[in-house]
Structure 1
Amino acid sequence: MSVTQIKTAKVSVVQDFKEITKMRLALSVVFSSVAGYLLGVEVVSWSTLLLLAVGGYFMVGASNAFNQIIERDLDKLMDRTKNRPIPSGRMSVNTAFAIATLFTIAGISVLYTINPKTAMFGAISIFIYVSLYTPLKTKTPLSVFVGAIPGAIPFMLGWVAATNDFGIEPGTLFMVQFFWQFPHFWAIGWFLYDDYKKGGFFMLPTGKRDQGTAVQVTLYTVWTVVTSLIPVFGVTGDLYLTPVSGIVILILGLILLRAAIRLYKKRDAKTAKQLMLMSVLYITLLQIIYVADKFIRIWI
């Protein structure tokens, strides 16, 4: 084997590892967990922050690997997934299972060293994603509701890691990211509708790209914005947001809502993709604003 072939093989292995664990998605989850930690902690422990990031990556990577093992035959049918490591034949099911198992054990162990509650929520996340959400995707649109639970855990997981406590504060963080999942994933389900249909996945609430789905996207966008602003009113314990930051988030929320209303009016794939991108921008900026607001108040 030539040097070029060896290098190509190494690149392929790294690429397959990134795909089986969905690295970009995992890193976004780690970002949410870190934001939650910074919101909950009084004095930042960099070692705990590192453990949270590593443990969080392991947990998401495990969920995604198990998911791709279960859906390997369906992935062959869809354009966006047919080149994944397992359906393309580049990775065996046994290898993927070994990665998923190793990541599960490592993830729970790492999170347990932070505190048992963090490990427990991490384990619950994997269980719901793999055992409930994944099989329900081909049976009912309610799968999105089930999938929103593990999807909303990372933001609150960071707070639990910081405080070893679950109360109104992490509950609020969970609620914000829970409601956010719906416009986000329904937008994805809309512009990838034809591809999902090939795999037999039911992602939209009515099963169609129709007015009913568009109405629900808009309603859940409203709920996302409303729950995002609850900390402004001082009713969420130690989780507080100043009115100035609240106004910024409201403006972002109105921009997100405008994108949802545009989807209601146009009902096309291009508008749905714009809503999806705006939803990613919204949750990212929201988490940054929440954290910045806290530390600016401390410094002032």
Structure 2
Amino acid sequence: MTDATLNTALTGDTATVWDATVRDYVALLKPRVMSLVVFSGLAGLVVAPGHLHPVLAAVAVLCIAVAAGAAGAINMWYDRDIDALMERTRNRPIVRGRVNPDEALSFGIVLSIGAVLLMGLAVNWVAAGLLALANGFYVFIYTMWLKRRTPQNIVIGGAAGAFPPMIGWAAVTGDVSLGSIVLFALIFFWTPPHFWALALFRSGDYQKAGVPMLPVVAGAEETKRQMLVYTLLLLPLALAPVALGIGGPVYLLTAALLGALFVLCALRVLRSRDDKPAKQMFGFSILYLFLLFAVLIGEHLAV
């Protein structure tokens, strides 16, 4: 891509000939990130006490998916300047000059509002309010405020990604209770070691873009120590659903085993002098959360 094309992509010059396809608009929704968000929202919906008609349950999951994707599109619109500087994000559709930034913003706003309204009208307004809060937190608190200002961006901003199981729970019950708060906390404490593992082997990218991720500001060793702390906190926290009656014996065994392996990953990263253990921990962290929620869903569906 030429410098002129990059400049028009970043500034939103309407004279540019945009060549967006359906695939580009799908890419704006960050489908890989969305998939884990949707799955955790589905878990909250399945394990919540009560019953929701299957059609309404499908609508609730759809709303979570659309809202998550919409937040991702707005994030790409706002971060298009730093996305152009980082290896991991430089092929995103706005940076590549395929999607007009103004259209990406409008796309994200319309989808966000539509998802919240549909959730409220079809399911309930508690779930809709939580959905709006999650999107607002991700866009305004994390993307626009924290990300470029503090190394605690992921710690605080991680709350946005922790809302989906709470939203799914509220879709069924119409309220927020201890069970949904525990599921929220599980993702909240999982987020820092997950993203810091990525930041360790992508620290050059973040430094070049001026994003104060913890490895850039505090160094790799401090980041590794904090990653270990969070995995140790997760170990008992992941067992809390059992105490609340949300998780059964299979979940207990799975959470204990996966938690021990997560701590082991963090210890390997702490002792390492290369990026390989951090890359492995990043991959395992995704599997960790997926399996915890998969077992929760499986236990409840098997009853």
User: Do both proteins adopt the same fold according to a TM-score greater than 0.5, normalized to the shorter chain?
Assistant: yes
8 Å CA contact 1:69–1:93 kept in 2: the answer is yes
Structure 2's unaligned 5+ residue stretches are 1-18
**Which of these residues, 239, 242, 251, is aligned with residue 245 of structure 1?**
251
Determine whether 1:20 maps to 2:35: no
Determine whether 1:121 maps to 2:127: no
8 Å CA contact 2:196–2:227 kept in 1: the answer is yes
Task: Show CA shifts across 1:55-99 (max 9, x none).
Answer: 112211111111111111111111221221112211111210121
User: How far 1:205 sits from its partner (Å)?
Assistant: 6.4
- Report matched runs for 1:195-206 at 5 Å: 195-204=205-214
Partner amino acid, structure 1, of 2:126: K
- Report matched runs for 1:65-144 at 5 Å: 65-112=73-120, 113-135=122-144, 136-144=146-154
8 Å CA contact 2:153–2:213 kept in 1: the answer is yes
Task: Show CA shifts across 1:133-178 (max 9, x none).
Answer: 1132111111112211111001221111111111111111111111
Match of 1:185 in 2: 195
User: How far 1:248 sits from its partner (Å)?
Assistant: 2.3
1:249 partner SS: helix
8 Å CA contact 2:151–2:212 kept in 1: the answer is yes
User: How far 1:186 sits from its partner (Å)?
Assistant: 0.8
Match of 1:223 in 2: 233
User: How far 1:293 sits from its partner (Å)?
Assistant: 2.4
**Number of equivalences:** 283
Q: CA RMSD in A?
A: 1.7
2:217 partner SS: coil
Determine whether 1:284 maps to 2:287: no
Match of 1:150 in 2: 160
User: How far 1:295 sits from its partner (Å)?
Assistant: 3.5
d(CA) in 1 for partners of 2:248, 2:93: 46
Identity of aligned residues (%): 33
Seen in structure 2, the aligned counterparts of structure 1 residues 223 and 206 have a Cα distance that, compared at 3 Å, is farther
Match of 1:268 in 2: 274
User: How far 1:108 sits from its partner (Å)?
Assistant: 0.5
8 Å CA contact 1:190–1:272 kept in 2: the answer is yes
1:125 partner SS: helix
Structure 1's unaligned 5+ residue stretches are 1-10
Q: State the TM-score, normalizing by the size of structure 1.
A: 0.89
d(CA) in 1 for partners of 2:88, 2:187: 25
